[in-house]
Chains A and B, each alone.
Chain A
């Protein structure tokens, strides 16, 4: 079956009921999307399908036929949000980070702190307590620091 993956038309041979997560990680070799729970609870497997963040561990690959799929790799390795996640310590161990970024990337241009929290409510982080993640995301949108930070 065919779909658009990170901007390029891609054909996969996977079983139609294979999880999108497994197809991305194995057949497509893109291991940036992570499995944290396999139940759609942790959000570490978040990718964009037709512009919307979804849990790839829940989606049978047949359902992305002709769809537009974007993974963390689709953002490249120099995206401002990626830099901010590292510099603001929005990423500590980093395992939730790709999913967190893919959930945040769909935010509008002027989110409030509440908008950010709501957009990330489906992404679990065990390391940061989330505050630094908000700082990274709000800074990316050029919004002044709503939570106190140790980074000058």
Chain B
């Protein structure tokens, strides 16, 4: 576990999530605080949700649902595992999970970068709208379901249903793909794709060879109502 450094600390064994978030939303923007440490998160939900500030937040332990939900600008690191929907609807900034993430990581994220150093469970990147996601381990089923925009890198394996009903988001997988979802297809990697993967891995501080990765994108056959498909996509 990382040591406590920085200007402000909250101890969730003694203080409430509400007090902490109120500080992050209402007090912090008026102060010259660059680092906030959150001790004993103890699986609490909604930790550092709705932050809109240029600040580093370190969560020293495991967190529950919706950590860093709707984040703007902040750089939030969890030194542990997280529950459902970490960084849901993230707009900007960076959220890094040093451990594993449960379901729906970065769901509907509009921007910024989400790094899961361990594994992410099912529906990682569901409905993503521009966020970049890097998963150091593997992802569960239906990752990238209805993903609209952005890039997702999976360094490990992907469970069945990868990229089901994809729109314009692109998924890169370094390991084995157990099965693609409807309308998702593997495409040839281009020089731009290799450069994209290399760049995102650098930002994520993960050391993998971009040459390992496969590109998954939409076949775009669901973009318009296709009656002849008889709903057997």
Asked if chains A and B come from one complex, the reply is: no
